[in-house]
Chains A and B, each alone.
Chain A
Amino acid sequence: MTAVTAARRPGDAGDAVGGVVPREVVRPGTVEEVAEVLRAAAAEGRAVVPVGGRSKLTWAAPPESCDLLVDLTGLDRVVEHVAGDLTVVAEAGVRLADLQAQVGEAGQLLGLDPPEDGATLGGIVSANASGPRRLRYGTTRDLLIGITVVLADGTVAHAGGKVVKNVAGYDLGKLFTGAHGTLGVVASTTWRLHPVPPARRVVTLEVPDAAAAGPLSIALARSTLTPSAVELVGSAGGAARLIVLFESIAESVAGQARAAVALLGGGEESEDLPGDLGRRPGGADDVLLRLAYAPASLSAVLAALPAGTAVAAHAATGVSYAAVPAAEAADALPRLRAALAPHDGTAVVLRAPEAVRDSLDHWGPVGDSLDLMRRVKERFDPERRMSPGRFVGGV
């Protein structure tokens, strides 16, 4: 790695990815430096793991090896914000919070709200992270309009562009979304922005049984109300809160909140966001799962979880997070996957205490496209050096 100009140092325990300590850590400052680093790594056949805010590097399966940790936080420039076009170009290491602050000055926002502190744009894209407002704004695949990536061999490639509407060429942004660094490094991102809504109103309904939220969420989704988020926070088989968030002009949120109370048959109105809105449930001793399923099957999903499991659900979109006590996880996971299957549901292990981590099938079955995914991986990273082993498809 003699030709590399980027700052580098030996890795230590604090750099470990899922317990694997990298031999070396490099922190490039520009896209060109990322390319230089990857070219050098290619020449030496090194295994590379790209990281952003490292907010969740203990999550998921550890890499089989990690010679080189590429820290993207040096790529921290907001390159171009054109308020009139509602677009922004920002490098991968920019923290979401910093980007929101900057575009917020123009009354705009990026419609992503994953709860992890310090998350970078590259990390959010690569983990396909999202939060409660996905109901309104969608996820990375709906908001990312352009991307610059650096492939395993150092090739720098762009796709998409700076305009919201664009169908020229394949949309590589989609391919890199949720790819967890296994296809290459995300170096720069271009996004579609939205105006910050001027007013907010929150309706909170306590339900004695979380499953009651299923039909209520369906009713909300089929109504003409346009909530930004419909969240369920509570425990499977136990009490829960259904939180409905309206964000628009003052007249609209007031009217919609009233209508929501009528539709739900109750609920408290407030202007304040609950502090735990969007927070992932459970603690360090739990196995944190991400469940995704056809949205109307929320009640069935809750019924399939071990009673008492802490849950935070995006109730109207078909995504829930559940914290299963570590001791129960190995038993519960296969049963849960079987129960979710009729609803096109899947359960992914996001975080697991070390003691049980290696005994769990993190990603679960992937379906009949697994071989195709493997072929994609082989084309982009034929030597299998990018985050090897982190992204696991089912048996």
Chain B
Amino acid sequence: MSVPGSESGRGRVGLFVTCLADLFRPSVAWASVRLLEQAGFEVTVPDRQTCCGQPAYNAGDLPTARRVARGILDAFEPFDYVVAPSGSCAGMLRLHLGRLFESEPDTATRAEQLARRTHELTEFLVDVAGWTGVAASFPHRVTYHDSCSSLREMAVRDQPRALMAQVQGLELVELGDRDVCCGFGGTFCVKYPDISTKMVSDKTAAIAATGAETVLAGDLGCLLNIAGRLAREGRPVACRHVAEVLAGTNGTDPIVPVGP
């Protein structure tokens, strides 16, 4: 449990849960809370949060994206840090929020300030917190999928690997073509399903080629896409968010249980 105002606290973190973790896989959020608390931060989950606004932003619907973004600004302004278990949502807050308010200088300034305090979870734990206290065991061969936004917007690549290296028994086998998109892309995957299918099939083939039992990633969007395709292909590979393994909360079932 968090200890509000605790003296040992290293700062107040507002957890940006992400809409996918909130709705589909709460275990990712629980794991994030646990990791942040283990690292010595006081974690708050502002209950006025919903989504980062990307569905509208990437669809070109700026007025809607703006409406959602205002809620985020209000909800997360009081915290020292905003941390999200997703490179995609963190990227939205860090790189795109300000652009939404180009015509409102005051709001744009608020957005820029929020952007500077926003981090992806593993990046925060490693680069900001300098935390090396992972206390988890996962005696499995795993592979790791880098989401495009983690990689290219948030410069997250080594951080999850540094944390995974601390997990007892975890053996990491790197994916071939690991910087290639899995084909999720938000609404892209349903607007252009044939192309998306080709992309995710290439990805699941690369995953199978590693011989890993579990594929981990830092973004639920990719994971739902990959898990859904693995299940359809009947490939026995489990999918989990990396935070679940790092926090040792992997008692829950993987995303889509392996098997028929």
- A and B from one complex: no
Name B's A-contacting residues (CB within 8 A). Answer: none
